[in-house]
Amino acid sequence: MPLHDISRKTFASDNYAGVHPEILAALAQANGGHVSAYGDDPYTAALNDAVQEHFGDRAEIFPVFNGTGANVVALTSVMPRWGAVIASADAHIHTDEGGAPERMTGLKLYPVPAPHAKLTPERVATEAWGYGFEHRAQPLVLSITQTTELGAVYTLDEVRALADFAHDKGMVVHMDGARLWNAAAAMGCTFRELTVDSGVDILSWGGTKIGGMGAEAVVVINPDVADGLLYLRKSTGQLGSKLRFVSQQFLTLLQNDLGMNAARHANAMATLLRSTLEQMESRGDAPGLTFTHPTDANAVFAALPTEATAKIRESFHFYDWDESAGEVRWMTAFDTQESDVLAFAATIGEALRASA
pTM metric for this prediction: 0.97
Task: State residue 230's pLDDT score.
Answer: 93
Task: Confirm if 236 and 74 have CB atoms less than 8 A apart.
Answer: no
CA distance linking residue 147 with residue 270, whole number of Å: 14
State which amino acid sits at residue 287. Answer: P
pLDDT of 19 reads 97
pLDDT one-digit tens code per residue, 231-275: 999 999 999 999 999 999 999 999 999 999 999 999 999 999 999
Average pLDDT over residues 90-101: 94
> Each residue of 276-291: pLDDT tens digit?
999 999 999 999 999 9
Using 50, 70 and 90 to split pLDDT, how confident is the model at 157? very high
The correct CATH number of 22-257 out of 3.40.640.10, 3.90.1150.10, 3.90.1580.10, 1.10.3210.10 is 3.40.640.10
CATH 3.90.1150.10 domain position(s) in the chain: 259-355
Give me the pLDDT at residue 106, please.
86
What residues does CATH 3.40.640.10 cover in the chain? Answer: 22-257
**Confidence grade of residue 105 (pLDDT, cut at 50, 70, 90):** confident
Asked if the model's pLDDT at residue 169 lies above 90, the reply is yes
- Per-residue confidence band for 176, with pLDDT thresholds at 50, 70 and 90: very high
Give, as one character, the DSSP assignment of residue 312.
Answer: H
Q: Where are the beta strands (DSSP E) in 113-199?
A: 138-145, 172-177
Nearest to 97 by CA among 66, 140, 61, 127: 66
**Between 3.90.1150.10, 3.40.50.2020, 3.30.750.24, 3.40.50.720, what CATH number should domain 259-355 receive?**
3.90.1150.10
Q: Nearest Cα to 154, choosing from 187, 110, 191?
A: 187
Each residue's pLDDT tens digit, 18-30: 999 999 999 999 9
> Whole-number mean pLDDT of the chain?
96
Give me the helices (H) in 64-179, please: 67-77, 92-95, 100-105, 121-125, 156-168
User: What pLDDT, on the 0 to 100 scale, is given for residue 39?
Assistant: 95
- Residue 296's pLDDT is what? 98
- CA distances (Å), origin 284, targets 23, 305, 326, 350: 43, 15, 20, 12
Per-residue pLDDT tens digits for 37-95:
999 999 999 999 999 999 999 999 999 999 999 999 999 999 999 999 999 999 999 99
pLDDT per residue as tens digits for the range 118-137: 999 999 999 999 999 999 99
Instruction: Find the angle CA(197)-CA(223)-CA(187) to the nearest 5 degrees.
Output: 25
pLDDT band for position 356 (cuts 50, 70, 90):
confident
pLDDT higher than threshold 90 for residue 1? no
Q: What is the pLDDT of residue 144?
A: 98
Inform me whether the pLDDT recorded for 298 exceeds 90: yes
Q: Answer with the residue of higher pLDDT: 87 or 101.
A: 87
Assign 3-state DSSP to the chain and report helix, strand, coil percentages, each to 5.
45, 15, 40
Listed in order, strand segments (DSSP E) in 304-344 are 319-322, 327-331
